[in-house]
Amino acid sequence: MKKHNFSAGPCVLPQEVFQKASEALINFNNMGLSIIEISHRDKNFIAVMDKAQALALELLGLNDKGYKALFLQGGASMQFLMAAYNLLENKAVYADTGSWSSKAIKEAKLFGEIEVIASSKDKNYNYIPKGYAVPSDADYFHCTSNNTIFGTQYKEFPETNIPLVCDMSSDIFSRQLDFSKFDLIYAGAQKNIGPAGTSLVVVKEDVLEKVSRTIPSMLDYKVHLDKDSMFNTPPVFAVYVSMLNLDWLQNLGGIQEIEKLNNQKADLLYTEIDRNPLFTGFATKEDRSVMNATFNLVDESHKEVFDKMWKEANINGLNGHRSVGGYRASMYNGLTLESVEVLVETMKKFENTI
């Protein structure tokens, strides 16, 4: 029986995406070949890559605005490094809103001076810092739009006149934003894009080629741009499934439509977290993530009972990250409202049991 999958990533994708991917593993495009045995130079795969890139730009509203979309390997963690390798000449400024921001900062330090201009570390990252100024003498400002582990999310981004770089790994394609404010957006695929094994990089071409260092080919955005993500063998299957998933989103009506559903799911769960006396939310209310809801038991001694109940309700992946404890319900694009309803019912049932 199909689980209600609240995993933080890799995570659930629409069932029809799994189905199509499964079929293409045996016979792709009626070629008599598996999707994973065809050459990446085959026109059937080039069409997949082109479509995935085009869908990404279209969905973000970045067509014809000087942006290119790339599907690369290495995960978002490779982008911590590549962003700095490609853009950092002297100094960059970062906001530290969680473990992923901290890791991005650590890697960037190898390439120049890093100034942390805002941090919520003082309260175990349960809020988004606000009201700080972004200096104009830095090469770029880096932030993390959604903090997967702590369940916080930027509702507004600081104004700045320097290039804006954003790790959107856990909320890209989930809500409407003016994406043209960003110069470099990156995201590991394994939440709202596709399977683990590729990352989407959306880059405004005019921020590139400004650093003086020589960049190794595989780490150079320009090299990948010039080869349309085909400088070397791309992760064919991960790109294919990403294309299927972005296509699913477009057919649904794009970000505008999924945003409504995402808000519905998050409202339902947060309402219950607040109402139910046995639970308490972790993140500051105004900064709550629509993607990852973090919450704890008011009384930890009930843990065993609740854990048993949600497992019996066919729920998967609800354990919180060790930095927060408690629970984390990740409600990415692929999660249905029904799954959230099942979770909320289980929380109510738990209340009645205790």
Ligand X SMILES: Cc1ncc(COP(=O)(O)O)c(C=O)c1O
Positions marked catalytic: 100, 167, 191
Q: Which residue has the CB atom at the shortest distance from ligand X? A: 75
- Cis bond upstream, residue 10 (ω within 30): yes
Nearer to Mg ion, 170 or 262 (CB): 170
Nearer to Mg ion, 170 or 242 (CB): 170
Give me the 19-48 binding string for its own copies, x by CB under 8 A, dash otherwise. Answer: x-xxx-xx----xxxx-xxxxx--------
Q: Based on the shown chain and the rule CB under 5 A, indicate whether residue 179 belongs to the binding site for Mg ion.
A: no
Sheet harboring 113-119: ordered strands across? Answer: 67-72, 199-204, 184-188, 164-167, 141-144, 91-96, 113-119
Under rule CB under 8 A, which residues in 89-118 are in contact with its own copies? 103, 106-107, 110
- What's the CA gap between 109 and 353, in Å, rounded? 51
Span of 33-41, 84-92, 126-134, 142-150 interacting with Mg ion by CB under 5 A: 142-150
Q: Based on the shown chain and the rule CB under 6 A, indicate whether residue 76 belongs to the binding site for ligand X.
A: yes
76 a known binding residue?
A: yes
- What's the CA gap between 102 and 30, in Å, rounded? 46
- Here the tokens at position 333 are 């694009």
CA distances to 46, 82, 249 from 259, in Å: 30, 30, 11
- What's the CA gap between 225 and 109, in Å, rounded? 25
Q: Based on the shown chain and the rule CB under 5 A, indicate whether residue 98 belongs to the binding site for Mg ion.
A: yes
CA distances to 60, 61, 145, 256, 287 from 177, in Å: 8, 9, 11, 10, 16
Nearer to Mg ion, 73 or 99 (CB): 99
Q: Based on the shown chain and the rule CB under 5 A, indicate whether residue 100 belongs to the binding site for Mg ion.
A: yes
Under rule CB under 6 A, which residues in 185-224 are in contact with ligand X? 188
39 a known binding residue?
A: no
Closest Cα to residue 81, out of 220, 250, 285, 251?
Answer: 220
- The residues of the shown chain that bind its own copies, judged by CB under 8 A, are 1-3, 5, 7-13, 18-19, 21-23, 25-26, 31-34, 36-40, 73-78, 80-81, 103, 106-107, 110, 188, 190, 194-198, 214, 216-219, 231-238, 241, 314, 316-317, 334
